[in-house]
Amino acid sequence: MKALIADAINEKGIENLKEVADVVVDTSITPEELLETIGEYDGIIVRSRTKLPAETIAKADNLKIIARAGVGVDNIDVNAATEKGIMVVNAPESTSITVAEHTMGLILSAVRKIAIADESTKAGKWEKKRFMGMELKDKTLGVIGMGRIGSQVVNRCKAFQMDAIAYDPYLPADVAKQMGVELLDSKEELLKRADIITIHVPLTPETKHSISTAEFEIMKDTAFIFNCARGGIIDEDALYDALKEGKIGGAGLDVYEEEPAKENKLFELDNIVCTPHIAASTKEAQRDAAIIVADEMIDLFQGKMPKNIINMPRMDNSGFEDANDYLKVCDKLGSFLSQSTKGAIKELEIVYSGEIAELPNQELFTRTVLQGLLNPISDSGVNAVNARNIAKGRGIDITEAKNDNDKGYGSLVKLTAKTDEGEFSVIGTYLHEPTIININGYRVDVKPEGDMFIAKYKDVPGSIGAIGTKLGEYNVNVGIMQVGRDIQGGNAIMVLTLDNEAPKEALEEIKALSNVEDATSLKL
């Protein structure tokens, strides 16, 4: 096997790889040279300097693996790699400790006013009285997002004798218990109770501006908030007002709504500590990334399956012509279920019926369901290869069954999720496009695509109109409407395809309507 190291990586990774492959290190290779020579290699390791666009990948006739020594894969055309059957791997866990430590740095710097005290002391002011701090011992840490980084921050804060509470609706309670945190049902409760709030969630439509004016209102006026995740999760205008008006004690940011953040009104304030998106920048993180991806490449060269694969080479499902259509169905059903289910999913049952059930195994379909299910709540590239591991890590118990009752549709896929709040189910098929034919026992005919809205309500005169009117008040146009009910006057469900996204305020007002039990907006 022949491997190219195209960007500077830690020596240890190179050493390991040399034991199993001929390694060429050329960290100044130009795009033109790479285009010429890529066909010679079985594997390539890059960081962010080297770009692998579709035209380069098209020439990579022997390439089996592209390894990104880091996290983001923006410099690699992953779709082109997938098309060509090339595995793309990265090292998402390589920066977790480093980012957690940086978060601790911001916390200490903010609560003990270290950054501004440094500036003042070096200016010869010796302002001992100005910098009264706050001790962390016995204070409550509130973590929003208990994934790789959030859990490492908890570990570190425990050494400071802090109590830890967390909000992560996708984390099962027993996993949280093992991590030693009290898992809360509502973000609001966390915001009320926490002295130190730290954010470790991906930036998604759900998390964007999820900390804004209303959230600052309910925090303690001594609370501190930190964001080392992604800019845009905290509404910076609202943060500015909260800091300026003393609604909270202070803040620390490594990430900003606009980067590079060379001008930002937050920089005028002295109760905020700021760093330029460097939370992941340590030599150790870079070393670990190199070792992790070199090991992944070694595994593949030795016939083992790497762990952090972020794409999935095409698979042959000969005998079932509609396989690709049903992969789309599985992805959409998973995503629909994940966004419409309340509470953390503990059990997922997948039932295949009809032709799809006749295939010798449904593994790729199951993995695609999991990919759809996990992608809306993660930004770490869940795909058909790594989805099972990620689901297992989240404590989701998966069962699969097959039967021949296709109800005349040819093939059906039924997903049932169990959470602490109940059971949620969805059945889908392919009718020219992915189609949902049943939601929680209600018959529907829904194309899961774009902005959608789902509401449970009482089947009484005026309910449908009231929901439509509220959406209209917020300028949201309904494209397609589907309703289903159990009995006349009983419980009913409404699924809407919208021309534009329903704002949070519209959703809250709809939920408050007297005949509406619940409402959720979805992005498919």
Closer CB to ligand NAD, residue 285 or residue 444?
285
Contacts of residue 286, defined as CB under 8 A and 6 or more positions apart, other chains included, come to 9, 10, 69, 70, 94
CA distances from 77 to 63, 81, 315, 371, 488 (A): 14, 6, 19, 19, 53
**Per rule CB under 6 A, is residue 254 in the interface with ligand NAD?**
yes
**Per rule CB under 6 A, is residue 256 in the interface with ligand NAD?**
no
- Is 209 considered catalytic here? no
- Is 485 considered catalytic here? no
3-state SS string for 154-186: HHHHHHCCCEEEEECCCCCHHHHHHCCCEECCC
Rounded to the nearest whole angstrom, what is the least distance from the CB of residue 280 to ligand NAD in the complex?
Answer: 4
Q: Which of 154, 377, 385, 476 binds ligand NAD (CB under 6 A)?
A: 377
- Is 230 considered catalytic here? yes
Q: For tokens 């704002």, what's the residue?
A: 503
Coil, helix or strand for 324? helix
Closer CB to ligand NAD, residue 255 or residue 524?
255
Rounded to the nearest whole angstrom, what is the least distance from the CB of residue 194 to ligand NAD in the complex?
Answer: 14
Tell me the angle at which helices 283-301 and 96-111 cross, rounded to the nearest 10 degrees: 160
Q: Which of 44, 201, 333, 498 binds ligand NAD (CB under 6 A)?
A: 201
Residues 265-284 that bind ligand NAD (CB under 6 A): 277, 279-280
Q: For tokens 């937050």, what's the residue?
A: 266
* Alpha carbon distance 387, 371 (integer Å): 5
- Residue 167 pairs in a beta bridge with 144
Rounded to the nearest whole angstrom, what is the least distance from the CB of residue 3 to ligand NAD in the complex?
Answer: 26
**Residue of 112, 193, 277, 287 marked active site:** 277
Per-residue interface string for the shown chain with ligand NAD, residues 72-91, x marking contact by CB under 6 A: --------------------
Q: Which of 13, 70, 142, 145 binds ligand NAD (CB under 6 A)?
A: 145
Length of the chain: 524
470 — alpha (psi -120 to 50), left (phi > 0) or beta? alpha
* Alpha carbon distance 515, 445 (integer Å): 23
**Per rule CB under 6 A, is residue 99 in the interface with ligand NAD?**
yes
- Token digits of residue 355: 């032709």
Coil, helix or strand for 225? strand
Q: Which residue is nearest to ligand NAD (CB)?
A: 147
Closer CB to ligand NAD, residue 376 or residue 434?
376
Pair 43, 301: CB distance under 8 Å? yes
Rounded to the nearest whole angstrom, what is the least distance from the CB of residue 54 to ligand NAD in the complex?
Answer: 25
Rounded to the nearest whole angstrom, what is the least distance from the CB of residue 98 to ligand NAD in the complex?
Answer: 8
292 — alpha (psi -120 to 50), left (phi > 0) or beta? alpha
| # of chain residues touching ligand NAD (CB under 6 A) | 34
Q: Which of 149, 348, 471, 498 binds ligand NAD (CB under 6 A)?
A: 149
Q: Which of 16, 48, 271, 380 binds ligand NAD (CB under 6 A)?
A: 380
Summarize as ranges the residues that interact with ligand NAD (CB under 6 A).
Answer: 71, 92, 95-96, 99, 144-150, 167-171, 200-202, 206-207, 228-230, 254-255, 277, 279-280, 377-380
